[in-house]
Structures are given as C-alpha cells and as structure tokens.
C-alpha cells in the first residue's frame, strides 16, 4: 500500500510539479492551496506525510504544522522554505526542513527513510 502525501503550497505551479514528481515515485498525493484547505483534507481522510511551503498567507506552514499534528499526531511533517532558522524547528512540530529550491531526490530520500 502506498503512502498518502498532502502537498500544500500557495504557488499553483510548484504544487503541481511536486505532486507530479511524487506520483511518479509511487505515492498517493493530494494537494491543497493553503492551510484551511489542508486541514479540511486532513479531517476528510488518511494521510501519512504533510509537505508544506513555509511562507503562505494567511496561515503559514509553521501554524499549519502545529494544527495538523493536533489533528493527526503521527503525521510526518516536512517544511519547504527559502528562509528558516533553528528556532523554527524548535517551535513547530516539523520533522524536516528542506531548503528552496527543493531537491526532489532529497525529499524522496527522506520519505523513504521515514516510511
């Protein structure tokens, strides 16, 4: 059974490209354009991984990760960000931060290791 990944990004092209790459790698993928849509998707069905952009509005990826973990405590969370600090890791329930531009092969390696 393949793992379900929720990809969240307010950039439509980035969301579509990442979703396509993950599907080609054999994952089931759902996408959301923002935090509220992502939370609705998490409430609606199972999910193993959340991969979210950090800088979105009105709910950023840090707040989304906190709320997502409240809904699904076993959820693995990866954040994609051009700018982040070690403090960001300390204040949000994030398993891994990937720098932008995202190297999909590194994400796939983490997904394989987290499985």
List CB contacts of 108: < 8 A, sequence separation 6 or more. 22, 25
> How many angstroms separate the CA atoms of 63 and 78, rounded?
13
pLDDT for position 38:
98
pLDDT (tens digit, 9 = 90+) per residue, 48-106?
999 999 999 999 999 999 999 999 999 999 999 887 766 666 767 899 989 888 999 99
Question: Helices 61-71 and 35-44 sit at what angle, rounded to 10 degrees?
Answer: 20
C-alpha of 16 from chain center:
13
- Among positive and negative, which fits the CA dihedral 23, 104, 65, 35? negative
Strand order in the sheet with 96-99: 28-32, 4-8, 49-53, 76-81, 96-99
pLDDT for position 92:
76
Q: What b/e sequence results for 26-42 when a residue is b if at least 16 CB atoms lie within 10 Å of its CB, and e otherwise? A: ebebbbbebbebbbebb
Structural domains of the chain, ranges and CATH numbers in brackets: 4-114 (3.40.50.2300)
Report which of residues 115 and 51 the model is more confident about: 51
């Amino acid at each position: 059974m393949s793992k379900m990944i929720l990809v969240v990004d307010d950039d439509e092209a980035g969301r579509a490209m990442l979703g396509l790459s993950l599907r080609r790698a054999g994952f089931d993928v759902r996408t959301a354009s923002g935090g509220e849509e992502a939370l609705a998707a998490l409430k609606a069905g199972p999910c193993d991984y959340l991969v979210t952009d950090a800088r979105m509005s009105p709910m950023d990826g840090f707040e989304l990760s906190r709320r997502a973990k409240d809904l699904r405590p076993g959820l693995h969370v990866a954040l994609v960000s051009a700018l982040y600090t070690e403090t960001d890791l300390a204040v949000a329930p994030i398993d891994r931060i990937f720098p932008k531009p995202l190297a999909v092969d590194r994400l796939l390696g983490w997904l394989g290791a987290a499985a």
